[in-house]
Structure 1
């Protein structure tokens, strides 16, 4: 059995996404409920507050203060989809901090793999703006922090139903971070076409697999059992980070993909078999509460035993 760390903090429940918003505190409540049968197999860890300096590994220098001031003033909408409240800044810096602590605990040998049950999510956030429920780009900041700590080559896998435009943009001209994404297309946020491959020395280090509505297990499993392992093997990363968005599930209300819970388990299994390196999974989307809970538990079970 692998040493799997689980990062969670009640501060994530304090992020006010707005009345009736699908990215709700209940998402984490349900994940924790579904993890009850296996919680004793996990190493439970607490995140820390990411500093403004750490956040600006990806974001503009003024951006953290801008978000902090906006939340302190009572919050509101940062974009048409992204609402924050008084405690959202604290939740957001702790979401980033889960990834940073994950890297530190991998280095000290306490854990080999990590699941970060965080909110707000991150992969849509760009360097100077919140977007699509996301405030800070948790996975991108974790990637840069990992590089500072000696993981020179980072492979990011994003299986959220929506393309991670912010993560792609952060590393578009970079040959040290490989970004791989499967997502519904054309769909929000409109990026992630096959022709988007990077620029300059980063050309070829972005790999998008845009998929039509209705795509299910068979196509996904082929991609993750054949295409992905070849790319990982060729890049030879030191660590793999995963934007784990469970809105690809067939029961999710915010996407039109048809992947089953078992299909998600097979995707995760193929990811874990692709390289013998540390793994950090960071929660992104997933808005049907029962499907989210089931999928997160199966993901973590695979992390324990594969």
Structure 2
């Protein structure tokens, strides 16, 4: 059926007017999934120890101190805190951890975490790119260190390079990280030469306007390498801002491209780890495109394969 983790408190992370990462994104996702048969659960608050799997205590405390009583506190050029932002971020991390627990317990083969703020740009001690904590990397570390898995894969198809996830997993040989992304584009990292401390990082930079055909070719090769790694769990940073209508980039993907890639990832998981996939919402800033892509993505996650 697929487990859906979300929480209304994720709407309380408020950005200044005109900011692309608005609460309306989560509203659009919720509407897209209305009536879809899903095991719907509230995302719990993450325990502090979960944050410390990837972030130093001093950084977590700095974020906590920065939360304003009203208005906004600015952490970098485009990353803000509102009074409800910390709680929302803890729900986002907690949702990923709960999804990992549920899938590894066999409650369902797949889970989708529809929370915000996103996480894949947050580095060990730096908030950036709308992100506070590295939710997917934390989920990967929970799978490895709490559940005792030997190998996990983190696959990121957001249009922006997952620099934070790469930073948090750079030295983690038990985690293979693959990111496809437009280049050049924010944050400027993600060259193919960035391969991780143990050769377990695969970056797939894509040319602006290159479209779905180039994406499919790149991911087919990368997924073959992931299959050789034999992950016991697949986590996905599911950003939908590579869509042709997204205002922040220009890769020109269509809904069918996201459905194809989701299917390819699920097929890989079927062969490697009993179909266990935890997918986590990242970017996507055109509301209509985001809704359509999420609906297609979750539809594939739900299918019996």
TM-score (norm 1): 0.95
Matches within 5 A, 1:260-299: 260-276=254-270, 277=273, 278-299=276-297
Contact 2:191 2:204 in 1 (8 A): yes
Pick from 164, 169, 172: which aligns with 2:170? 172
1:223 positional shift:
2.3
More moved, 282-291 vs 109-118? 109-118
Calculate the aligned-residue CA RMSD, in Å. Answer: 1.2
Question: Would you say how many aligned residue pairs link Structure 1 and Structure 2?
Answer: 298
Partner of residue 61, structure 2: 65
**Structure 2: runs of 5 or more not aligned:** none
Contact 2:103 2:277 in 1 (8 A): no
1:175 positional shift:
1.4
- The CA deviation string for residues 28-71 of structure 1, in whole angstroms up to 9 with x for no partner, is 10111111242xx1100111111222101000112222212211
| Runs of 4+ off more than 3 Å | 72-75
The 3-state SS of whatever aligns with 1:266 is: helix
CA distance in 2, matches of 1:124, 1:238: 24
Contact 2:166 2:201 in 1 (8 A): yes
CA distance in 1, matches of 2:228, 2:125: 33
- The CA deviation string for residues 92-123 of structure 1, in whole angstroms up to 9 with x for no partner, is 01100001111221233222101000100000
Matches within 5 A, 1:113-124: 113-124=110-121
CA distance in 2, matches of 1:275, 1:85: 38
CA distance in 1, matches of 2:222, 2:157: 12
**Structure 1: runs of 5 or more not aligned:** none
More moved, 169-178 vs 243-252? 169-178
The 3-state SS of whatever aligns with 1:86 is: coil
1:173 positional shift:
2.1
Contact 2:176 2:201 in 1 (8 A): yes
Partner of residue 242, structure 1: 236
Partner of residue 253, structure 2: 259
Partner of residue 205, structure 1: 200
1:73 positional shift:
4.3
Matched, 1:229 2:223: yes
CA distance in 1, matches of 2:169, 2:86: 25
Contact 2:258 2:293 in 1 (8 A): yes
